[in-house]
Homo-oligomer: A and B are copies of this chain.
Amino acid sequence: MSDIQFRSDMTVELIDSSASDLSVVRAARVSTKTESKSAWGDEKLIEFLMKNRHGTPFEHNSFTMYVEAPIFVFREWQRHRIGISYNEQSGRYTEFKPVFYIPDEDRALIQQGKPGHYEFVAGTDDQIMGTVVGLSWTSGSAFGAYAALLEMGIAKEVARMCLPVNTYSSMYVTWNARSIMNFLSLRTKREDSKFPSFPQREIEMCADQVEEIWSQGMPLTAAAFDKHGRVAP
């Protein structure tokens, strides 16, 4: 139990990719090959596709990422079903390590307003302290019970039932620019979004890293996404 670890951050790393803005252009031009080649430059074509929501040309690419995040984040992430593949650490076949999420001190803890218009504001020192103490205490004692049950010979798939949803897990995710844009449109909160979203901060921390990785592989596409209101095509 001495090695219990509390984290406030998320890991998103690029493992492999096959992606470029060119892949978008190439796929779009198979549809319209005789007319467009001269008329449209690559950048203008990508903007045209984004603005007019021609989605399929954005699917001919692939990013594999490795993610570490708490279970409650994975629960939200894995609700995305289309153009996305997952392999997550199994609680049936592996032992969880004692790594738990505790919000950073600048994570706004208090929710105000009515459903559909929530805003989050900072907590008082007492509220921050209460959250840190409450979560670290439940994490630690749950992990103690988990270790004890394993020690008694109980199956991993049973012992893990006591672990809280702030336990870190890990997974590989493979997806394409279209499914990434759909994820970003729902899991980031930006001023310039045509359709505002209200993601939980913790999945947005992952989404920010996803966007960083993706936009390096497909910079023109990412710029067009931003420019046209962050609507997934």
A218: Cβ under 8 A from any B Cβ = no
The complex places the Cα of A15 from the Cα of B91 at a distance, in Å, of: 31
The chain B residue with its CB closest to the CB of A28 is B87
One digit per residue, 1 when the CB lies within 8 angstroms of any chain B CB and 0 when it does not, for chain A 85-101 equals 11111111111000001
A189 at the interface (CB under 8 A from B): no
Contacts of A145 in B (CB 8 A): 134-135, 137-138
Which B residues are in CB contact (< 8 Å) with A107? 158
Q: How far is the CA of A191 from the CA of B28 in the complex (A)?
A: 26
How far apart sit A134 and B155, CA to CA, in the bound complex (Å)?
A: 14
Chain A contact residue count (CB 8 A cutoff): 97
> Across the interface, which residues of B come within 8 angstroms of A3, CB to CB?
none
Known pairs A135-B162, A154-B131; A56 contacts B148 (CB<8 A): no
The contact of A149 among B30, B57, B116, B131, by CB within 8 Å, is: B131
Residue of B nearest to A40 (CB): B115
Q: Is the interface of A mostly helix, strand, loop or mixed?
A: mixed
Q: Which of A126-151 contact B (CB under 8 A)?
A: 126-127, 130-131, 134-135, 137-139, 141-142, 145, 148-149
Residue pair A94, B130 in contact (C-beta under 8 Å): no
* Least CB separation from A123: chain B residue: B154
Nearest chain B residue, comparing its CB with the CB of A96: B34
From A64-72, A207-215, A219-227, give the one contacting chain B: A64-72
Contact residues in B for A190 (Cβ distance below 8 Å) = none
Contact assessment for B165 and A160 in the assembled complex, using a CB-CB cutoff below 8 Å? yes
Q: Which residue of B lies closest to A15 (CB)?
A: B26
Shortest beta-carbon distance, A82 to chain B, in Å?
6
**Closest CB pairs A-B (n = 3):** A62-B62, A18-B18, A59-B85
